Amino acid sequence: MRISTKAMHEGRLFHPEGAHTPPIFQTGTFSFKSLKEAIDVFKGKKIGFAYTRVGRGNPNFLMAEETIAGLESAQDALIFSSGMAAINTTVQNVAAGGGHIVCGRTLYGCSEVLFSKILPRLGLEFSFIDARYPENVMKAVKKNTKAIFLETPTNPTLELADIKAISDIAKERKILVIVDNSFASPYNQRPLELGADIVIHSATKYLNGHGDIISGVVCASKYFLREKDNSLEEWRTNQGPVPSPFDCWLLLRGLLTFGQRMETHNNNALKLARFLEQQSAVKKVIYPGLKSHPQHELAKKQMTGGFGGMISFELNGGRKETRKFLEKLIKNSFIGLAVSLGYAETLIECPAVMTHASIPRNERLQKNITDNLIRLSVGIEDYQDIEESFKEALDSLK
Ligand SMILES: *Cc1c(COP(=O)(O)O)cnc(C)c1O
């Protein structure tokens, strides 16, 4: 099956009474037919459901997990209550007991706080590097390095890391490569096929696509997720970051249109990036699909499905012009001023005062997150309506 078909048909198990659409197993616990069956399930001799937090959890977990594993070319997947729960549990699991992790210098805001402030209190160590250059990864590796954690493209500056080159280096040293693939989605980029070991998603974003849940998922080998001692499933059972069955059901429903949505996100974003590049009010457009992107060649190599729906751009001027533009745009169009991304609807935000406001200004500027940088999650509305909304707001700056 191709990826759009997989998103619709893979993993849709459990059809009691012939229900075509999978039911919601909105239950906390499961009854057994006999004591013998209960004993076999608890001993691990038989695969079965016992309690929605424990082990395999719930049939709705399993359906979402199988589908997403299929999309990422993974052996298996494990669903969590949020993207942050998936990241936190994975990173703690691989670096428990004072392990070191090398990670990109620009990360999703909460990942950055988790790695720089919270997990160091538990004795985990992190080095932040500019992951555009694979040699930087090498230089940061220490004796206790357990993993390399990458986001590509990064948020909000859309810098890329060469997943294959970094995975090749890591393999020699037996270091795990973890990729947060939320921005690209498996439609466009499949890190496991390039040599990475673990892929994490905020399923809140493109996978669900409808903005009605918070959810996360980890894709990896069966051994890492379920079989080894200290498996991620064991951590999920005992630390407890499980989603609700209903959220898993909504995720699976959102995935029905995954292929169509991604195709439209890709097409709309590429057209809009080209349009923005030609506007006199715009200073610079950052989009991996543009020839002007410094890593466009790498993007073509590793983002095989398309370049995604995320665009960042800078306006000419500073805070004043940025504010005027945003006020005009949200007042006169359907475009929402909101954090988050990957929804069917177009969303826009200003990182300096919203998603990345907690970073001190100097540090922010070093990462090229300027006051006039705008981040855009291009939706699947009719392209012409999106372009016209932007044209009107940009023309008001003249
Ligand atoms: C949103 C996001 C997260 C966090 O996911 P939640 O589902 O909000 O917990 C992590 N990484 C990236 C790249 C994200 O965009």
In terms of domains, do 276 and 381 share one? yes
205 carries an active-site annotation: yes
CA distance 103 to 146: 11
Per-residue DSSP letter, 98: T
- Domain assignment of residue 268, given as a range: 259-395
Q: Which of 12, 40, 51, 53 is catalytic?
A: 53
130 carries an active-site annotation: no
CATH number assigned to the domain comprising residue 349: 3.90.1150.10
Q: Which of 105, 146, 205, 375 is catalytic?
A: 205
367 carries an active-site annotation: no
In terms of domains, do 73 and 191 share one? yes
Q: Is the CB–ligand 1 distance for residue 108 below 6 Å?
A: yes
In terms of domains, do 224 and 337 share one? no
- Per-residue pLDDT 10s for the chain (398 aa) are 999 999 999 988 767 778 888 999 999 999 999 999 999 988 888 888 999 999 999 999 999 999 999 999 999 999 999 999 999 999 999 999 999 999 999 899 899 999 999 999 999 999 999 999 999 999 999 999 999 999 999 999 999 999 999 999 999 999 999 999 999 999 999 999 999 999 999 999 999 999 999 999 999 999 999 999 999 999 999 999 999 999 999 999 999 999 999 999 999 999 999 999 999 999 999 999 999 999 999 999 999 999 999 999 999 998 999 999 999 999 999 999 999 999 999 999 999 999 888 889 999 999 999 999 999 999 999 999 999 999 999 999 88
Q: What is the pTM of this model?
A: 0.96
In terms of domains, do 361 and 263 share one? yes
In terms of domains, do 282 and 204 share one? no
- Ligand 1 centroid–CA 101 distance in Å is 19
Q: By CB neighbour count within 10 A (0-12 exposed, 13-18 middle, 19+ buried), where does 278 fall?
A: exposed
Q: Is the CB–ligand 1 distance for residue 180 below 6 Å?
A: yes
Mutate to test the pocket of ligand 1, among 84, 118, 154 (most ligand atoms within 8 A of CB): 84
Contact yes or no for 71/209 (Cβ under 8 A) = no
CA distance 43 to 180: 34
> Distances from the Cα of 268 to the Cαs of 345, 361, 378, 387, 392, in angstroms?
12, 32, 7, 9, 18
In terms of domains, do 329 and 182 share one? no
In terms of domains, do 104 and 224 share one? yes
CA distance 360 to 329: 27
In terms of domains, do 21 and 145 share one? yes
Domain count along the chain: 2
